[in-house]
Amino acid sequence: MSLPRLIPVHYVSTVGVGTYSGLEFREVSATPHPPPTDRFDGYIASKWTPERYLEKVAEHCGWPVWIHRPSSAKHADIPDLDLMQNLSKYCKFMHAVPVSTNLRGELDLVTPATVVRSIIGQLHDENSAPGWVRFLHQSGNIKLAFDDMKTFMERELERPVKGLAIGEWARKAAELGLHKVLVAFFKNVVNLCVNTLIALCSVTLPKFRAQFAESRGTLTCATGVPRHVLDALLSAICFATSTGGIAQRASESGVTIHWENV
């Protein structure tokens, strides 16, 4: 019904479709940077595929298309497994931030209201044209660099904030209710670069493959980490390292994963 009148289509995707670009991802097509086909990152794949479909529709049918890409949404009710928002939440609870040389990059949170205002603002845009695809990134009201987290939290809370080794921070957060899956991941940041940690939680991941520069490594996951999370972790290691061998060993204290590159 919309095609004969070329009514513009607005699709809400995610800025995470640029995860595998390995670059600063701009407001362009994500076609050159497809997600892996091994089911490792199903959420990103579920957004990348419709984007590609709509680009082809625009190309073949002349349909004007808008693709909106919000960053991580900031909700009043924080999901138990939302990595970024729980990190911020428990820093505020504890008046303490995690410290690790493996924590790099920045948090980028955007409120749903900001995303909605941006989309509504484009609904009556006069610049759309047949066969035209426009990409818009709705990024954060809140940006927090990991290496400046302590300063940010002190400004937010208007009081001094401690820096804790990330393992200790995770243990204390667990006592306050942080989900055990996130606790396990935070404890392993020492061994597993935070960019890979973020990938496993479906958040933006630049330069994924470069994070496993070592030819071999070992990672221990705490008891209670769900099977599907371990499977995702194994896929991540295989994808990043083109590993020739990978082994798991279960014990009372958890699961140890060892990999070695070819």
pLDDT bracket for residue 261 (50, 70, 90): very low
Structure tokens at 87: 């990190």
Mean pLDDT in residue range 121-150? 75
- φ, ψ of residue 21 in degrees (nearest 5): -75, -25
Mean pLDDT, the chain, integer:
70
Contact between 74 and 142 under an 8 Å Cβ cutoff? The reply is yes
Range of 39-43, 122-126, 218-222 with top mean pLDDT: 122-126
Mean pLDDT in residue range 52-67? 90
Tell whether the model's pLDDT for residue 156 goes beyond 80.
Answer: yes
Q: What is the pLDDT of residues 205-236, one digit of tens each?
A: 333 333 344 445 555 554 455 554 555 555 55
Beta strands in 142-189 (DSSP E): 142-145, 162-165
Three-class DSSP category at 237: helix
Q: Is the dihedral of CA 195, 197, 202, 203 positive or negative?
A: negative
- Residues 6 or more apart whose CB falls under 8 angstroms from that of 226 comprise 181
Give the model's pLDDT for residue 241.
47
Kindly give the residue spans of alpha helices, DSSP state H, lying in 62-165.
83-94, 112-122, 149-157
Tell whether the model's pLDDT for residue 204 goes beyond 50.
Answer: no
Tell whether the model's pLDDT for residue 240 goes beyond 80.
Answer: no
Measure CA of the first residue to CA of the last residue in the chain; give whole Å.
Answer: 55
Q: Is the dihedral of CA 204, 210, 211, 212 positive or negative?
A: positive
Least confident of 48-52, 67-71, 153-157, 195-199: 195-199
- Residues 6 or more apart whose CB falls under 8 angstroms from that of 125 comprise 8
Q: What is the pLDDT of residues 174-188, one digit of tens each?
A: 999 988 877 876 776
- Ordered structural domains, the chain, with CATH: 3-211 (3.40.50.720), 212-262 (3.30.1070)
Contact between 153 and 161 under an 8 Å Cβ cutoff? The reply is yes
Mean pLDDT in residue range 98-119? 74
Contact between 133 and 65 under an 8 Å Cβ cutoff? The reply is yes
Beta strands in 3-95 (DSSP E): 9-12, 65-70, 72-73
Angle between helices 83-94 and 149-157 (to 10 degrees): 60
